[in-house]
Amino acid sequence: MTVTARGADPQAYVTTIRATGDGDLDAAISSSSDLLALQKTQAVSPFALAGRIRNEYDRIRTALESFGYYAPIVRIEVGMRPGKGAPAGPMLDGRDPRLPEWLLSVPKGQNVQITVTPTRGELFRLGRLTLQRAPQDGPGDVVLNGPEAKALGLRVGQPAVASDVLAAATHLQAELKEEGYALAAVAPPKAWLRPETRTLDLVFTVRRGPVVDIGAITLTGLTRVHPSYIARRLTIRPGMLYQPSRIEAARQDLASLGVFSDVQVRDVPPLTAGERMPLDFGFTEGKRRMVELQGGYSTDLGGRGGVSWTHNNIFGNAEKLRLTALVTGLGGSAQQGLGYDVYADLMKPDFGSRNQNLSVRVEGIRQLLYSYRQTALLVRAGLVRRLGRRWSVSYGGQAEQEQIDQMGRTNDYTIVSLPLSATYDGTGVSNPIDPATHGVRLALSATPSASLVNGTSFFTILQANASTYFDLTHLGLSRPGRSVLAFRGIIGNVQGASTFDIPPDQRLYAGGSATVRGFRYQGVGPQFPNSKYAIGGTSMDAGSFEFRQRLFRSFGAALFADAGQVGTSSRPFEGTLRVGAGAGVRYYTPIGPVRVDVAVPLNRPAQGDTWELYIGLGETF
């Protein structure tokens, strides 16, 4: 048989890389291999393939050395790939000078088999670590046992992994800057290989420079936001010690105002008198107006939908005005007809003092529930103040004028109240729609109220809500954030009045996604005889358990059980305990999970629903 050489025709090949026994190292070798990465996308001629094979030795060796294996052996063998029933031919070494000629002789259509066998050899470890002072810092060639040595985070005898060594230089530079050395620089280390001891000696050249304070601060890019407000909002001032963490915290604080699409901060050298570093904050203002569509559905409350219009920065100091109009009661087993919820919210940040926001709402409501029919106008104003990173408190006043029809009786009520609340969030989740995977949330509230009907009656509504989350990764059962147990508890009571002395909308109810799933909204607790009308009560308690499991990249599932009861005394844990259970699916989007839950009651009351469906954005708690 005569074989004709193919000249510059592309040569197809298949690459096999043998495992070393270290999964991370194998992954690094595979990702560094050009033979593997290009075998399907960039076919080359036999001569070019021979060059690719020769270059592969250095690429594989570099990957091995990055993990501390500085005396590896890399073997590459090239041969005919066995066909149908045909045995493989002899294998050539990848460095064999005859390789290009041999590749030219491969018959057209015949694949070449390339086998890469990396052998790690003995692991090298770190030997002597030296910190050398840069010439700009004056005399003294070597710094021994100083604070810089500790900041490196390296120790003699640890594996000489390249990523750890480079990260140590970066970490040392960051530590020096955090101490005020704004001009600090740590060069990539010089390394000396010691084959006889299987060690790697390192010399880091460190330039510290002077200790620097923050200099003049300029603000650029502001058009509609008042510079005076931003200057007051800034958490750093000229004369403070230059610390990147403090400067970054100030940048993030300004970005959190919600009126900027981007906030950047940069040094503006050279240093000014007194060793001060000027800073420039650059702003890109976001869209001032925004329109949003809202929607949701559950079998008890039916559908709700509408539109919101938001004006950010309405007066130039990051104030936000939001107008919302919703249609409610589109079907639903707890509804008797269509209603509406129309409101205007105004939020003014830093009202009176920093971290204290003014919130004002004017709201009109009409809801035709089976428990009662309500038409109301509410006006509320309050202050929300942050107390540290996790605690916040709110206080204010509210007035409500309403008309309520219940069981054929219509009454008008005028209610004034002074709500007070405190919240704690230890989950570390900044967006309330994002699922929490650890930590605790607490919410405590007390609402002293007066009902100005047929004289004045006083009552106080007390409520506490707690939830906690446990990631099963702590038990070694899953990857972080994939399997989470969530628990919620709610308790509330009314002091100072009995059930029928309180307007129906001020009484306590349970049932629905916020308390006990599987029962319709307000479907847990005392009911009027032979009806779906809930009476409400003066005490309520509920608890929930949920198991949340992420599936694949964008999906998840949940199993849950809820229980709760409503009583007519001022003490909780009284009444008929109702229990519901169910399951749901989640689809995770960039703005939060879309939730679909189905729940059934395990001890359904006579007029109760047989099942409930809930669709919404975000987890229930």
What confidence tens digit (pLDDT) does each residue in 564-597 have?
999 998 888 989 999 999 999 999 998 889 999 9
pLDDT band at 4 (very low <50, low <70, confident <90, very high): very low
Sign of CA dihedral 175, 179, 185, 186: negative
As a whole number of angstroms, the distance between CA 568 and CA 493 comes to 9
Considering only residues 91 and 557, tell me which one the structure prediction assigns the higher pLDDT. Answer: 557
Say which CATH number the domain at 161 has.
Answer: 3.10.20.310
Surface-to-core class of residue 351, CB atoms within 10 Å of its CB (0-12 exposed, 13-18 middle, 19+ buried) = middle
Based on the fold, state whether residues 39 and 110 are members of the same structural domain: yes
Confidence check: pLDDT of 541 > 50: yes
Mean local confidence (pLDDT), 491-496: 94
Are 440 and 529 found together in one domain? Answer: yes
Has residue 259 got a pLDDT over 80? yes
pLDDT bracket for residue 216 (50, 70, 90): very high
Tell whether 345 is covered by a domain: yes
pLDDT of residue 7: 53
Q: 474 in helix, strand or coil?
A: helix
Distances (CA, A) of 334 to 117, 367, 612: 70, 11, 11
Specify the range with the lowest mean pLDDT, choosing from 139-148, 348-357, 600-609: 139-148
- Rounded to the nearest 10 degrees, how much is the dihedral formed by the CA atoms of 183, 184, 185, 186? 180
**Same domain, yes or no: 270 and 311:** no
State how far the Cα of 239 lies from the Cα of 131, in Å rounded to an integer.
Answer: 31
CA neighbor of 435 nearest in space, from 308, 549, 575: 549
Q: Are 510 and 565 in contact (CB under 8 A)?
A: yes
Written as six digits, the tokens of 316 are 């130039």
Q: Which phi-psi region, left, alpha or beta, contains residue 592 (left: φ > 0; alpha: ψ -120 to 50)?
A: left
How many CB atoms are closer than 10 A to CB 548? 25
Mean predicted lDDT score pLDDT of the chain: 91
Does some domain include residue 6?
A: no
Q: Are residues 273 and 298 in the same domain?
A: no
Q: Does residue 322 have a pLDDT over 60?
A: yes
**Residue 375 domain flag:** no
Last residue of a domain, one of 207, 241, 275: 207
261, 286, 295, 356 from 292: Cα distances, Å = 18, 16, 10, 27
Residue 136 domain-assigned (yes or no): yes
- How many folded domains does the chain comprise? 5
Name residue 491's beta-bridge partners. Answer: 464, 541
Query: HSE (CB half, 13 Å, CA atoms) of 459?
Result: 22
- Neighbour-count burial for 255-288, b at 16+ CB within 10 Å, e otherwise: eebebbeebebebeeebeeebbbbbebbbebeee
pLDDT of residue 83: 64
Same domain (yes/no): 97, 22: yes
- For 175-211, the pLDDT digits (tens) are 999 999 999 999 889 999 999 999 999 999 999 889 9
pLDDT at 457: 85
**In whole angstroms, what is the distance from residue 293 CA to residue 51 CA?**
59
Mean pLDDT of 274-303: 93
User: For the residues 218-231, what does the mean pLDDT come to?
Assistant: 96
Q: Could you tell me which residues are beta bridge partners of residue 298?
A: 302, 614
Q: What is the distance between the alpha carbons of residues 555 and 549, in angstroms, rounded to a whole number?
A: 9
pLDDT (0 to 100) of residue 135: 77
Whether 323 and 305 share a structural domain: yes
Segment 221-238 shows an average pLDDT of 95
* pLDDT surpassing 90 at residue 143: no
Q: Are residues 182 and 250 in the same domain?
A: no
DSSP H or E run through 439: strand 439-452
Q: How far apart are CA 347 and CA 363, in angstroms?
A: 15
Q: Confidence class of residue 531 from pLDDT cuts 50, 70 and 90?
A: confident
* Poorest-pLDDT segment among 72-86, 280-294, 542-556: 72-86
| Range name among 89-93, 400-404, 435-439, 592-596 with the lowest pLDDT average | 89-93
The distance of Cα 152 from the centroid of its chain, to the nearest Å, equals 30
Q: Is 136 exposed, middle or buried (0-12, 13-18, 19+ CB in 10 A)?
A: exposed
Whether 410 and 404 have beta carbons less than 8 Å apart is answered as yes
Tokens at 601, concatenated? 């009651």
> Which long-range CB contacts under 8 A does 603-608 form with residues at least 24 apart?
603/577, 603/578, 603/579, 604/519, 605/523, 605/527, 605/576, 605/578, 607/527, 607/530, 607/531, 607/532, 608/519, 608/520, 608/523
Question: Of 263, 285, 307, which residue constitutes the final position of a domain?
Answer: 285
Residue ranges making up the domain that contains 92: 13-119
Domain annotation covers residue 143 = yes
Sign of CA dihedral 569, 570, 575, 578: positive
In percent, the amount of the chain with pLDDT more than 90 equals: 75
- Report the candidate in 372, 368, 294, 304 with the shortest Cα–Cα distance to residue 336: 368
Phi, psi of 122 (to 5 degrees): -80, 140
Q: What is the pLDDT of residue 60?
A: 96
Residue range 382-411: average pLDDT? Answer: 94
Torsions phi, psi for 169 (to 5 deg): -65, -45
Give 24's pLDDT tier (boundaries 50, 70, 90).
very high
Q: What is the pLDDT of residue 453?
A: 77
Beta strands 555-567 and 439-452, pairing class: unpaired
* pLDDT at site 194: 94
Q: Please check whether residues 331 and 266 belong to one and the same domain.
A: no
Residue 495, domain member (yes or no)? yes
Residue 380 located in a structural domain: no
Q: Residue 590 has what pLDDT?
A: 86
47 sits in which H/E element? helix 46-66
Amino acid, res. 68: G
Domain endpoint, select from 70, 93, 119: 119
The answer to whether the CB of 610 falls within 8 A of the CB of 598 is no
**Sign, CA torsion 554/557/563/566:** positive
Contact present, 557 and 595 (Cβ < 8 Å): no
- Does 481 share its domain with 552? yes
Residue 2 in this model has a pLDDT that exceeds 50: no
- Estimate the share of the chain in helix, then strand, then coil, as percent rounded to the nearest 5: 15, 45, 40
Q: Are residues 499 and 591 in the same domain?
A: yes
Residue 377 lies in a domain: no
Check residues 271 and 2 and name the one with the higher pLDDT: 271
For residues 383 and 350, is the Cβ–Cβ distance under 8 A? Answer: no
Q: Supply the Cα-derived Rg of the chain in whole angstroms.
A: 35
CATH number of the domain where residue 395 is located:
2.40.160.50
Is residue 84 predicted with pLDDT exceeding 80?
A: no
Same domain, 224 and 337: no
In the chain, what percentage of residues exceed pLDDT 70? Answer: 95
Residue 107 preceded by cis peptide, ω within 30: no
Q: Are residues 102 and 246 in the same domain?
A: no
pLDDT higher than 60, residue 29: yes
Q: Which of 312, 140, 127, 137 is nearest to 224 (CA)?
A: 312
